[in-house]
Amino acid sequence: MKNQVVIITGASSGIGKALAFEFGNQGAIVVITGRNQANLIEAAADLQAANIQQHAIVCDSSSEEQTRAMVQEVIQRYGKIDILINNAGISMRSMFETVDLKVLKQVMDINFWGMVYATHASLPYLKESKGGIIGISSIAGYRGLPVRTGYSASKFAMNGFLEALRTELIGTGVHVLTACPGFTASNIRNASLTSDGSISGESMREEEKMMTAEEVASVIRKAYEAKKKTLVLTFQGKLTVFLNKWLNSFMDKLVYNTLKKEKDSPLT
């Protein structure tokens, strides 16, 4: 990883920030992006304090124009891109029947289209460096989750896109990894959107019982170095994917009953 240039979108907190430390501690130059300038500056300062080479760029992943400008800034500054980590993401929690459809569009714009924009802008440079693309997806990309229709849709789209792209890139030297964490202790649930598009501001799950963002980042980095194509994290995550393939009706009921137990769940 020494002196490899790694772009990490949505890296001002959570898994993205943990990935910046994980790759940076291996000698990489990490470029972190995010929409919130204050949070991004704070993350950059934390990385600098750890003697990690870093550069922060304010960028809204849902904007193609900002994303292409971000990629060009990286090229002008470093002359190359070795790894693109598509991490920027947002969640939502609402029954589909009552959700404002702008919420689903916002989730898709950040989670799916943000990845598409960054990947399309970076791909010529990744082919030059024979680098890699990592997509931070979710178990929700394998198993649809009630009250998270938009989030699940975005992650299913991400999984399909990355699988198709990985196949297109055979013979180019560009490696593609789809990483699917299970529930992870991060701020994504605190920042999830409600039915009207407002931010929930709190988690509905017991965060202390989940994998930490740092643990997830370590496993992802090792999986990328091992050239794995897909990574499904946690025993619960692996079991969910397996059972959903073979016992779909059973999983409908199990997932429903599990998420019904969440704090203030709209499921009855």
142 is catalytic: no
| Each residue's pLDDT tens digit, 35-93 | 999 999 999 999 999 999 999 999 999 999 999 999 999 999 999 999 999 999 999 99
Q: What is the pTM of this model?
A: 0.91
Residues 6+ apart with CB under 8 A from 137: 155, 158, 159, 162, 178, 179, 180
Sheet harboring 29-34: ordered strands across? Answer: 54-58, 29-34, 5-8, 83-86, 132-136, 175-180, 230-232
- Length in residues, the chain: 268
| Each residue's pLDDT tens digit, 132-188 | 999 999 999 999 999 999 999 999 999 999 999 999 999 999 999 999 997 765 555
Name the active-site residue from 125, 142, 151, 224.
Answer: 151
Could you list the beta-strand ranges (E) of the chain. 5-8, 29-34, 54-58, 83-86, 132-136, 175-180, 184-185, 211-212, 230-232
**Domains of the chain as residue ranges with CATH:** 5-90+107-188+206-238 (3.40.50.720)
